């Protein structure tokens, strides 16, 4: 990947992330999104210590860092809700310093790997007791939500906020997949197409099924669906457990994001 390609992909990854946040807040019954002066302020409508669900994302590099924090406090204080501020590696140095000065704590060091892939993947052939299914109905969306509850310790309240609407996973710009083992949903992954890239999100496997490669078919399917829908590249944000798998599949480190946590009580 050339430096120019990398810079362009980083910009597109930021835009895709912002698009995913907008989609998620639109789907949440009590979601709230405020977008002004190059900053996204958003809440899923219930407590969740997750930068995708309650957080602040700078989308304009010129927006003043101190003003961002002031606006974040005004947004979240009436809600009495903890939130995360996204820091983009090498583009938010001033914001990161302002967060540290204000006593925010970093959630993960050196940061969340944002990884990219610029080609389709071979689809693995599952064993006879494994079935890969596309998410096409409200029942499928409910199955997906329950995988996320088990995989991430997501509360049912948060799951309803994120996946309560069928259109959260069944939409022209979205494709989602569930892996069933003996007809039981055990793993899932989704993609959202925006800014010419496929963003892979909410990849998870239930605890009792981990270590058997059951999440890989869903991730490969979501990746390829993104290319089928016109994306020129796929991007994802890797968990600690998922990063080695994604590297083996061909994803490469593009940049890093960090979350800085604030508590409002």
The tens digit of pLDDT for each residue in 126-182 reads 788 999 999 999 999 999 999 999 999 999 999 999 999 999 999 999 999 999 999
Domains of the chain, by residue range, sit at: 3-113+257-262, 117-256
**What pLDDT score was predicted for residue 132?**
96
Specify the CATH class of 3-113+257-262 in words.
alpha beta
Q: Which helix (H) or strand (E) holds 20?
A: helix 3-27
The full DSSP string for 194-247 is ETTEEEEEEEEE-GGGTTSS-HHHHHHHHHHHHHHTT-SEEEEE--TTTHHHHH
103 pLDDT more than 60: yes
Give the percent of the chain with pLDDT over 90. 91
The tens digit of pLDDT for each residue in 236-247 reads 999 988 899 999
Is 3-113+257-262's fold the same as 117-256's?
Answer: yes
CB 76 within 8 A of CB 106: no
**What pLDDT score was predicted for residue 2?**
74
Whole-number mean pLDDT of the chain?
A: 95
**What pLDDT score was predicted for residue 265?**
54
CB 260 within 8 A of CB 106: yes
pTM of the model: 0.96
* Terminal Cα distance for the chain, rounded: 45
Stretch 116-130: mean pLDDT: 89
The tens digit of pLDDT for each residue in 183-236 reads 999 999 999 999 999 999 999 999 999 999 899 999 999 999 999 999 999 999
Span 117-256: which CATH code? 3.40.630.30
């Amino acid at each position: 990947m050339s430096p120019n390609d990398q810079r362009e992909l980083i910009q597109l990854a930021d835009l895709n992330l912002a698009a995913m946040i907008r989609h998620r807040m639109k789907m949440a019954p009590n979601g709230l999104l405020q977008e002004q002066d190059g900053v996204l302020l958003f809440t899923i409508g219930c407590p969740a210590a997750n930068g995708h669900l309650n957080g602040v994302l700078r989308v304009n590099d010129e927006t003043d860092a101190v003003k961002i924090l002031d606006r974040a406090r005004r947004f979240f204080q009436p809600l009495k809700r903890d939130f995360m501020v996204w820091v983009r590696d090498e583009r938010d140095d001033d914001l990161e310093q302002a967060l540290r000065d204000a006593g925010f704590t970093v959630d993960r060091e050196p940061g969340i790997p944002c990884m990219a892939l610029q080609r389709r993947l071979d689809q693995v052939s599952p064993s006879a007791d494994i079935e890969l299914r596309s998410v096409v109905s409200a029942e499928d969306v409910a199955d997906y939500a329950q995988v996320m509850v088990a995989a991430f310790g997501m509360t049912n309240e948060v799951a309803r906020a994120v996946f309560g609407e069928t259109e959260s996973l069944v939409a022209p710009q979205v494709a989602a997949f569930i892996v069933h083992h003996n007809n039981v949903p055990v793993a899932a992954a989704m993609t959202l197409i925006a800014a010419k890239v496929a963003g892979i999100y909410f990849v998870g496997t239930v605890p009792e099924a981990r270590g058997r490669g059951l999440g890989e078919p869903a991730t490969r399917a979501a990746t390829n669906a993104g290319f089928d829908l016109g994306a020129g590249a796929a991007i994802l944000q890797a968990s600690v457990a998922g990063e080695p798998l994604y590297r083996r599949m061909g994803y490469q480190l593009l940049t890093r994001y960090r979350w800085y946590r604030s508590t409002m009580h």
